[in-house]
Amino acid sequence: MRRAALVTVGIALLAAGCGARSNKPFTAKGTIGCLKAKHFAVTTDPTQVGFIAAFADNGGIRATPQDGNVVTLAFTKDETTVADTEKAFKAHASAGLRPHFSDVVRTNRNAVMVWTTTPTGDDDHTVQSCLAP
């Protein structure tokens, strides 16, 4: 009986802690350290991240993994502003990229990520897993 109670308490603690997801928006500040630790070259310099990401409410990042496929991340105010930011990126994309824009854009909560070319699964996963408040 006592063992069953301990197991139940353990499961409840796991559900409340480890698996819980934050609703806080992702930020450039919270994400940058992880990307650097994963060996991405990273900048937040507004002249390098581009106009859209530079003025995003929660910051912007330009990150380059070892394979050289650059990703620009714009951290919007919240999920309600993602579509507008995605549209802005598409409107300012090169004419050759616009028809394939869906291949290079990713969104996750309030983060909009635009790659130079379709990312590898590993690069995409790394960036997605580094997103943090």
How do the pLDDT tens digits run along the chain, 133 residues long?
Answer: 555 444 444 444 444 444 446 789 999 999 999 999 999 999 999 999 999 999 999 999 999 999 999 999 999 999 999 999 999 999 999 998 899 999 999 999 999 999 999 999 999 999 999 999 9
For 35, the 3-state DSSP assignment is helix
The one-character DSSP state at 110 is: T
Q: For position 56, what pLDDT does the model report?
A: 98
Q: For position 63, what pLDDT does the model report?
A: 98
Nearest to 122 by CA among 3, 40, 1: 40
- What residue has token string 């394939």? 100
For residue 122 the two structure tokens come to 């590993």
Question: What Cα–Cα distance (Å) separates residue 84 from each residue in 33, 45, 81, 116, 130?
Answer: 27, 22, 6, 20, 23
Q: For position 2, what pLDDT does the model report?
A: 52
Specify the pTM.
0.83
Burial class (CB in 10 A: 0-12, 13-18, 19+), 7: exposed
Contact 108, 128 (CB under 8 A): yes
Q: For position 27, what pLDDT does the model report?
A: 98
Q: For position 120, what pLDDT does the model report?
A: 95
Q: For position 69, what pLDDT does the model report?
A: 96
